[in-house]
Amino acid sequence: MAELSFATTTRAECRLHVGRGELARLGARLVEAFPPPRKIVVVTDRNVAPFWLERVESIVTEAGYASHAVLVPAGEEAKSLRILGTLWDRLLATGADRGTVVLALGGGVVGDLAGFAAATLLRGVPLVQVPTSLLAQVDAAIGGKNGIDRPLGKNLVGTFHQPARVVVDPDLLATLPERELRSGLAEVVKYGFVREPKILDLLRKAGDLEGLKAKPEIVDELVARCVQIKVEIVARDERETGERVLLNFGHTTGHALEAADGHATLLHGEAVAIGMVAAAFLAVDLGAAPPTLPAEVTEVLERFGLPVASSIETKRLLPFLGRDKKRKTGKSRWVVVESPGKAGLVEDPPAATIERALAAIHKKGEEDAPAA
Amino acid sequence: MAELSFATTTRAECRLHVGRGELARLGARLVEAFPPPRKIVVVTDRNVAPFWLERVESIVTEAGYASHAVLVPAGEEAKSLRILGTLWDRLLATGADRGTVVLALGGGVVGDLAGFAAATLLRGVPLVQVPTSLLAQVDAAIGGKNGIDRPLGKNLVGTFHQPARVVVDPDLLATLPERELRSGLAEVVKYGFVREPKILDLLRKAGDLEGLKAKPEIVDELVARCVQIKVEIVARDERETGERVLLNFGHTTGHALEAADGHATLLHGEAVAIGMVAAAFLAVDLGAAPPTLPAEVTEVLERFGLPVASSIETKRLLPFLGRDKKRKTGKSRWVVVESPGKAGLVEDPPAATIERALAAIHKKGEEDAPAA
């Protein structure tokens, strides 16, 4: 009877370059991180490719790499086993080896798919994220999470695989559809309430979506602040065993709304926006936040045309609340904001509290919302 | 323009319990590593289940866990995207959360599939390996490699995901088909030539397969020694950037034989056996080994009924030699044994040398083998 043991340590370093004009420096960043010659495979989708693929491929080629491109379909439906299999095979067909770099050029879906493919191709190849949506720039492209969906839910399989480089250039947002921009702002609002009230001040200063589009310096500052917060939190808690869970403010209800909706009509940020309102009502109901919080959350969201209620029946949401892959106990977990910038976690709040919070975001029931 | 960076460190600890009778202690090992209550899902195949599943499930249940079982088809064909998708969904259907343990009960195929599923389910759940084949006990179940096959080749996607526990009990080999036992012995022979000549002495002492089966104490010692070597090497080089590559002795040709054969007739160990003979001829041809080496390799393999030549034409093997996921340059890499216990790596040996080595293992061409 022998007992043996060993331990392995894996260190992943992620460097981020954030600022308007950073795309022009992508070639130099790649050369510094991954000396050529080698292959770089740009993974993007059919929405982003017409705007940015040629530019990125020429940057890659001019930097001395063999450039390949693999297109995946746009939208959440692309995060499927079938598309992942095709992506793997196309990456392999380029002659990829362990030195090949996967460059994800797109929003959250492209980042999740390309990230998972990079994490698993030949048991792991380097990944670079060049996010083109606001949501990806401030959130999804940072932190190493990736994954695909299964019939039982979103992101149920995936890995943690840190991108070696993330290049965040707000210039890329110029081609983003307006609804996608609004959706991304929901995550910006989230950072404001969870960590940094100054973000909410900046949003109010911009006034509304038109105001924001007219003031790129505010967009730049918002992006920079959100990236900074995300980096700080991930650096301390990559695997979401602690504070990273706070970034799920609005996501308990948000995920339930997306699931009940069959991911058909609501964008992720829209669902999170409504979810933050629900979480604000819950916080008040639990006595954790002042009664003014729901109105404060609602006010910021409505400035940017984000929804704050849903017509989905409360009872249709309940079965989806507990389906959270982080839970180890079958109970729902809620991020509760006490005041802007101060958030905590509540495990398994009373069912009646949850039901009142969900009733408060039901469109027909807004006037019946708990007065708190 | 902001530049930010952070680094994450992931530590994985693997503990191994090796010895006859260890299966009886599996329950205590699990409790020590993963305090109940929680779910343990036993993943096994249709060959192993009739012999061992009931026993393992009752151990798991008696230790205080909720036990589930998921069966996968037997054989290399099971390492497919389709079966992986089904496995993910069945694991999720048990209500798995991040505390659920996946227990791989089987040979290399089960370990690769269950290991990949565990590495990616909910972005990673704990894994326990209980190998039931000799090949898995001495090699595949140790070191964290997992994966599935793609049309372009075997194990082209996967991860490194260390099992938290590995329980190696030679009693489990009692139900192993004889051909599988022989196949596993090829990897045992490999350890002898690459690292520890004493292993070859033990094999010669056993005499042949019947002799070995009659002397369980020799089997136990062989298993223990091989596990020890594998652990030492993986502890120093988990990601195969250095000495772990030496464990690929015989595998350059072995993989090519399997690929050219379409994985139809040769077992992995059989292909590796033939590959070790080819590598021995190559070593002699390169002047790295004495001319007696091929006969020495052949003699040990033939004792145990392992093949030392193939009827597959040399020219059919050549295209598969370069397709090695570790290569970054498109060249083939060979592990070259100078004398039993002393091995090194040769990158891209001359084509004529490779062709002579392959000719030497061609059945019709044995007598034309380079006299070295």
- What percent of chain A shows pLDDT beyond 70? 95
Residue type at position A234: V
Residue A227 three-state SS: helix
Tokens of B12: 């994985």
Q: What CA–CA distance (Å, rounded) separates B10 from A207?
A: 43
Q: What integer is the mean pLDDT of B72-83?
A: 96
B124 to chain A: which residues are within 8 Å by CB?
159-160
Considering only CB atoms, which chain B residues are within 8 Å of A127?
A: none
- Strand pairing of A148-150 and A153-157? antiparallel
CA of B368 vs chain A CAs: smallest distance (Å): 35
Phi then psi for residue A166, to 5 deg, are -130, 125
Instruction: Tell me if B7 is assigned to some domain.
Output: no
pLDDT of A372 over the 70 cut: no
**Helices B108-120 & A108-120, crossing angle to 10 degrees?**
150
A64 and A186 within one domain: no
DSSP notation for B291-325: TTHHHHHHHHHHHTT----B-S-HHHHHHHHS--T
The burial class, CB within 10 Å (0-12 / 13-18 / 19+), for A241 is exposed
Residue A249 burial class via C-beta count within 10 angstroms: exposed 0-12, middle 13-18, buried 19 and up = buried
* pLDDT above 80 (res A329): no
Is residue A350 situated within a structural domain? yes
The answer on A194 and A170 residing in a single domain is: no
The mean pLDDT value for B190-194 works out to 98
Tokens at residue B28, please?
């205590």
Confirm whether A123 is a catalytic residue.
yes
| Range in A15-29, A223-237, A262-276 the model is least confident about | A262-276
B338 residue type, one letter: E
- Of A111, A77, A140, A78, the C-alpha closest to A272 is A140
Domain containing A347 — which CATH number?
1.20.1090.10
Per-residue pLDDT, averaged over B68-90, amounts to: 97
Helix (H, G, I), strand (E, B) or coil at B337: strand
B196 CA to chain A: closest CA distance, Å?
18
Asked if residue B349 has a cis previous peptide bond (ω within 30° of 0), the answer is no
Number of CB atoms found within 10 A of residue B21's CB: 10
pLDDT in tens, A173-219: 999 999 999 999 999 999 999 999 999 999 999 999 999 999 999 99
Indicate if the pLDDT at residue A85 is higher than 50.
yes
User: Are B3 and A18 in contact (CB < 8 Å)?
Assistant: yes
| Separation CA A352–CA A334 (nearest Å) | 14
State which of B154, B175, B196 marks the end of a domain.
B175
Are residue A150 and residue A216 in the same domain, yes or no?
no
**Is B1 among the domain residues?**
no
Chain-wide mean pLDDT for chain A?
94
* Residue B214: predicted pLDDT: 97
At A367 the pLDDT is 41
A11 pLDDT more than 50: yes
What 3-state DSSP class applies to A324?
coil
Same domain for A187 and A102: no
User: How much of chain B exceeds pLDDT 90, in percent?
Assistant: 88
Residue A255 lies in a domain: yes
Q: Sorting pLDDT into bands at 50, 70 and 90, what band is A327?
A: low
**Is residue A7, in this structure, part of any structural domain at all?**
no
Radius of gyration of chain B (CA): 21
The verdict on A94 and A224 lying in the same domain is no
The last residue of one of the domains, among B129, B145, B175, is B175
- Using alpha carbons, list the distances in angstroms from residue A372 to A132, A183, A288, A368: 40, 28, 11, 11
Number of H helices, E strands in chain B: 14, 10
Task: Work out the pLDDT band at A366, boundaries 50, 70, 90.
Answer: very low
Do residues B316 and B291 both lie within one domain?
A: yes
A145 assigned to active site: yes
A170 in the same domain as A188: no
Q: B18–A3: do the CB atoms touch at under 8 Å? A: yes
Interface probe for A, chosen from B1, B3, B8, B129 (most Cβ of A below 10 Å), is: B8
Residues with Cβ within 8 Å of residue A214, at least 6 apart in sequence: none
**Residue where the block lists tokens 């195969």:** B240
pLDDT of A3 > 60? The answer is: yes
Please confirm, yes or no, whether B268 is among the known catalytic residues.
Answer: yes
CA closest to B154 among chain A residues: A122
Q: pLDDT band at residue A369, thresholds of 50, 70 and 90?
A: very low
Contacts of A14 in chain B (CB under 8 A): 5-8
Active-site residue among B230, B263, B356, B362? B230
The question of whether B362 is a catalytic residue gets the answer: no
What's at B242, amino acid-wise? Answer: G
Q: For the residues A104-112, what does the mean pLDDT come to?
A: 98
CB-CB contact of A105 with A118 (8 Å): no
The predicted pLDDT at position A323 comes to 63
Interface probe for B, chosen from A3, A8, A325 (most Cβ of B below 10 Å), is A8
| Residues in chain B closer than 8 A to A121 (CB atoms) | 156-157
Region A235-253: what's the mean pLDDT? 94
Q: Is residue B6 part of a domain?
A: no
Confidence at residue B219, expressed as pLDDT on a 0 to 100 scale:
98
CB-based contact A89 B151, cutoff 8 Å: yes
The residue that leads in pLDDT, A31 or A264, is: A31
Mean pLDDT, to the nearest integer, of A261-268?
87
B139 and B197 co-located in one domain: no
Q: Is B240 a catalytic residue?
A: yes
Count of positions (residues) in chain B: 372
Q: What's residue B264's pLDDT?
A: 81
> For the residues A305-321, what does the mean pLDDT come to?
92
Spatial separation of the C-alpha atoms in residues A288 and B230, rounded to whole Å: 54
Q: Is residue B10 one of the residues assigned to a domain?
A: no
pLDDT grade, residue B300 (50/70/90)? Answer: very high
Least Cα distance to A268 among A258, A280, A279 occurs for: A258
Whether the predicted pLDDT of B324 surpasses 70: no
The pLDDT of residue A293 is above 70:
yes
pLDDT in tens, B127-161: 999 999 999 999 999 999 999 999 988 899 999 99
Distance CA B200, CA B218 (A): 11
| CA B351 vs CA A253, B136, B321, B347, B356: distances in Å | 63, 33, 11, 12, 9
CB contact under 8 A, A7 and B4: no
Residues A278/A362, Cβ–Cβ less than 8 Å? no
The pTM of this model reads 0.94
Interstrand relation of B39-45 and B101-106 (parallel, antiparallel or unpaired): parallel
Assess whether B101 and B188 both reside in one domain.
no
Task: Give the residue from A357, A45, A16, A303 showing the smallest Cα distance to A186.
Answer: A303
Separation of alpha carbons A187 and B115, rounded Å: 34
Contacts of A10 in chain B (CB under 8 A): 9-12, 160, 238-239
Q: Which of B145, B175, B205 is the last residue of a domain?
A: B175
Say how many domains are in chain B. 2
In the residue annotation, A187 being an active-site residue is answered as: yes
Asked whether residue B171 falls in the same domain as residue B182, the answer is no
Q: Is B230 a catalytic residue?
A: yes
Q: Are residue B117 and residue B148 in the same domain, yes or no? A: yes
Indicate which residue of B161, B190, B268, B362 is catalytic: B268
Q: With respect to residue B233, please indicate whether it lies within any of the assigned structural domains.
A: yes
B11 three-state secondary structure: strand
Same domain, yes or no: A164 and A191: no
Mean pLDDT of B8-36: 97
Q: A68, exposed or middle or buried, with CB in 10 Å at 0-12, 13-18, 19+?
A: buried
Domain that holds residue B344: 178-368
What DSSP string runs through A58-113?
HHHHHTTPEEEEEEE-SSGGGSSHHHHHHHHHHHHHTT--TTPEEEEEESHHHHHH
Annotation says B263 is catalytic: no
Q: What is the pLDDT of residue B263?
A: 75
For range B6-24, the mean pLDDT: 96
pLDDT tier at B320, thresholds 50, 70, 90: confident
Residue A152 with chain B: CB contacts under 8 Å: 89, 92-93
CATH classification of the domain holding B136 = 3.40.50.1970
